[in-house]
Amino acid sequence: MQLILLGPPGSGKGTLAADLEELYRIPHISTGDIFRRNIREKTALGQEAEAYINSGDLVPDTVTIAMVDARLAQDDCRQGFLLDGFPRTLVQADALGRMPVLRNQPLTAVLNLVVRDETIIKRLSGRRMCPKCGRGYNIHSQKPAVAGICDDCQAALTQRADDQEETVLKRLQTYKEQTEPLIAYYREQGLLFDADNEGTIEACFQAVRQLLDDRLSRS
Ligand code: AP5
């Protein structure tokens, strides 16, 4: 199964991807996670990406496309993959369509998570991360057992630098200008499926699971 998760910042792509990865046993490839790992490890890629990410802009297409092309060429993607946060521009979508991995493994579906801006702003202001193990929490919906402390490794939870309200608003604007056109792009190809994520995490997961099961049974 070859999936793309599309949706505005904070629409729940990473949360849903974790459940789909476990269900379908396909690698979850999050461009945001790859950039953040490179920033933590102070690689050249991380140094190039950091200023763009912290100001709510996109990392340039050339850098992002080369990074994803290399990742999709790895052996674990031969049985499928789940792209979270890529593509985000029409240039990236065209480049993905030309990547060798898609020749024998066409896209199964593009899932477009639909969430209102007010919900996104609330969820992102409540998001917390464990800096040690990477586990995600939310002070509204995914609380740790002890406030501010990771359940798994007891580290103090932190907030992502780009989750400050001003940067979240910039990310939403960037999404509307550069990523939203992908909805029409994939709809025209018959690949796009909307998934409402205003309800619970479990409700969204079950709806997507049903949708993918239907799609697979027809192919
Ligand atoms: P990235 O990390 O991909 O950020 P994003 O797209 O803005 O998405 P987020 O990770 O913020 O949110 P999400 O949709 O995964 O939601 P989540 O599941 O965490 O990218 C970061 C940056 O990297 C970009 O801004 C850009 O600079 C750069 N970048 C990345 N890819 C790029 C590309 N292709 N090209 C160029 N630049 C690129 O959920 C959010 C919160 O809501 C969580 O706390 C979660 O617990 C909660 N939540 C989720 N669902 C529900 C629910 N149903 N009910 C209640 N709470 C919920």
Quote the pLDDT of residue 33: 94
Catalytic residue among 71, 88, 123, 128: 88
Catalytic residue among 36, 123, 127, 128: 127
Quote the pLDDT of residue 219: 73
Catalytic residue among 160, 170, 187, 209: 160
Contacts of 90 (CB under 8 A, 6+ apart): 181, 182, 185
Ligand 1 atom at minimal distance to the Cα of residue 5: 14
Q: Is 215 a catalytic residue?
A: no
Pairing of strands 136-138, 127-129: antiparallel
* Chain segment 47-92, per-residue pLDDT in tens: 999 999 999 999 999 999 999 999 999 999 999 999 999 999 999 9
Q: Is 11 in the pocket of ligand 1 (CB under 6 A)?
A: yes
The pTM assigned to this predicted structure is 0.95
Whose Cα sits closest to atom 2 in ligand 1? 32
* Low pLDDT (below 50) residues in the chain: none
Quote the pLDDT of residue 216: 85
- Domains (range + CATH), the chain: 2-116+176-218 (3.40.50.300)
Q: Is 25 a catalytic residue?
A: no
Give the closest residue to 15 by CA, choosing from 205, 213, 211, 212. 205
Quote the pLDDT of residue 190: 95
Beta strands in 50-208 (DSSP E): 81-84, 109-114, 127-129, 136-138, 192-196
Quote the pLDDT of residue 215: 87
Give the closest residue to 65 by CA, choosing from 90, 35, 87. 87
